[in-house]
Amino acid sequence: MAGQVKLCGYEFYREVLGSAKYIVAPMVDQSELAWRILSRRYGAQLVYTPMINAKMFASSSNTRYRDQSFNIPNGEEGGVSDRPLIVQFCANNPEQLLASAKVVEDHCDAVDINLGCPQEIAKKGHYGSFLQDEWGLIYELVNTLHQNLKVPVTAKFRVFPTVEKTVEYARMLERAGAQILTCHGRLREQRGQNTGLADWAKIRAVKEAVSIPVFANGNILYHSDIAACLEATGADGVMSAEGQLYNAALFAPAPRPSYNLAVSMSSQETLTSRNIPPSHAPSLPPLPSPPTTLTGHHPPHADLALEYLAIVLSPSLKTKPPLSAVKGHLFKLMRPALAREPDLRDRLGRVCARDGGDGGVEGWGREFEGVVKEMKRRMDRDAAEALQGRTIEELATIEPITGLKVLPHWLAQPYFRPPNSTVQSARKPAAESLATAAGESLPKYVTELVPMIPTQTEGSMPTSTPTLASTLACH
């Protein structure tokens, strides 16, 4: 560390992270290098690696795991064009965590500790949100990195049932030495079918209670949610996981009026035709009078998928993603059209590594490419037939059960898991009256959120009414 000054808190956030506001979440098997490259082209200003298991990474003999989870020998991960970057670990042992963090400290801007994972695997492995009640251990994990690492330590966590406990916890993390906190506004119990709303009010309370930067996580699905979230929480930046996976351009504003959401030109071509590289898209001023009510960029999903595959297949990319990551991305990106193109969906699903490993990217990557090219051909055909001088707003349809707006099927857009239909129909009127009260139509994702609207008896659920209202306010 001799000669190096370790910046802290806001100084670190400004000087090293460039005051990043648009942040791609850590995502196992999904925030890999190729996705990070694509994400930055569309406005992401800071990206996290997928979570790495510190126990496995700490052992220098486990080179396979190391190279798969953060490949240093290739010189690409954490290299100049992969910054700013935060590497995330899960751990329950300070020595193992430190040993692992030391390996990556020269290849990233900070090391994050995952204190939020709610999955069964985290329960078994005793990490993530299952450490939430062991504050002594958490303090030690954070403080060990704070004391011994060249780069700052940050932490990502879920909220507690009460604001008071959430704030107390955040303050403890700050005292331990965390230099940025990411607050995911959902409880440990909010996962799978119970995902529901993130509670922005709790994030706001955390932001007001600490003096280090805070990133807000949860409920970011459309571009307009970003400003709404920043406003509601006062957070310094907004982090998205699922919303960004379904639309890699989530952080980019809608291009100028000449932009036609349905044309066959890819967003890259659209921007290039204006001599604007995609990486500069986020600095474009917002539309003075947008052709649709959408404030964000919703490129044709097949174009995004092809652009992602071009990165994956590029001979200059040495650190290839595993087949599972690529398949996961393609299924999510092209989801709006997969139900109507079942043959392509089946072909995507059948692509596999012939040699049983992930080394044959030229083989399976080209197979994916063939499917996506065919998808693009069909989507361009559909768009040309449907548009005929009409706007996307005119073409947007109403989802029959919820009465909510859906963009044409060739455009990247968020996805909401169908909720339990009984619960949904029982609670839909409540959501509708909330929306009416807010003077807005229901955003599509209320279909997922509705089951989580708390009733008098759900005392431990998030206080979501104001959050829902503020979410609605941007639609």
Binding site for ligand FMN (CB under 6 A): 25-28, 30, 50-51, 88, 114, 116-117, 156, 184, 217-218, 220, 240-243
CB of 67 to ligand FMN, least distance (A): 18
CA dist 419 and 213 (Å) reads 34
Closer by beta carbon to ligand FMN, 69 or else 267: 69
CB of 329 to ligand FMN, least distance (A): 10
Closer by beta carbon to ligand FMN, 242 or else 367: 242
- Residue type (1 letter), 329: H
What the block records as the tokens of 55 is 């126990």
CA dist 69 and 52 (Å) reads 6
Kindly list the catalytic residues. Answer: 117
- Evaluate the CA torsion angle 235, 29, 16, 81 in order and state its sign: negative
CB of 157 to ligand FMN, least distance (A): 9
Closer by beta carbon to ligand FMN, 117 or else 305: 117
Closer by beta carbon to ligand FMN, 30 or else 424: 30
Phi-psi domain of 43 (left: phi exceeds 0; alpha: psi -120 through 50; beta: other): left
Closer by beta carbon to ligand FMN, 12 or else 445: 445
Closer by beta carbon to ligand FMN, 50 or else 462: 50
CA dist 401 and 409 (Å) reads 18
CB of 456 to ligand FMN, least distance (A): 26
Among 298, 302, 222, residue whose Cα is nearest residue 260: 298
DSSP-assigned states of every residue in 324-365: HHHHHHHHHHTHHHHTT-HHHHHHHHH---TTSSS--HHHHH
Q: In Å, how far from its chain's centre is CA 21? A: 13
Determine contact, residues 212/237, Cβ cutoff 8 Å: no
Q: What is the SS3 assignment for 18-86? A: CCCCEEECCCCCCCCHHHHHHHHHCCCCEEECCCEEHHHHCCCCCHHHHHHHCCCCCCCCCCHHHCCEE
* Residue 81 phi, psi (nearest 5): -90, 5
CB of 382 to ligand FMN, least distance (A): 28
Closer by beta carbon to ligand FMN, 30 or else 270: 30
CA dist 365 and 372 (Å) reads 11
| 443 preceded by a cis bond (ω within 30 of 0) | no
Distance from the first to the final alpha carbon of the chain: 49
CA dist 152 and 156 (Å) reads 14
CB of 53 to ligand FMN, least distance (A): 10
Closer by beta carbon to ligand FMN, 118 or else 300: 118
CB of 379 to ligand FMN, least distance (A): 24
CB of 304 to ligand FMN, least distance (A): 17
3-class secondary-structure state, position 122: helix
* Residue 238 phi, psi (nearest 5): -120, 130
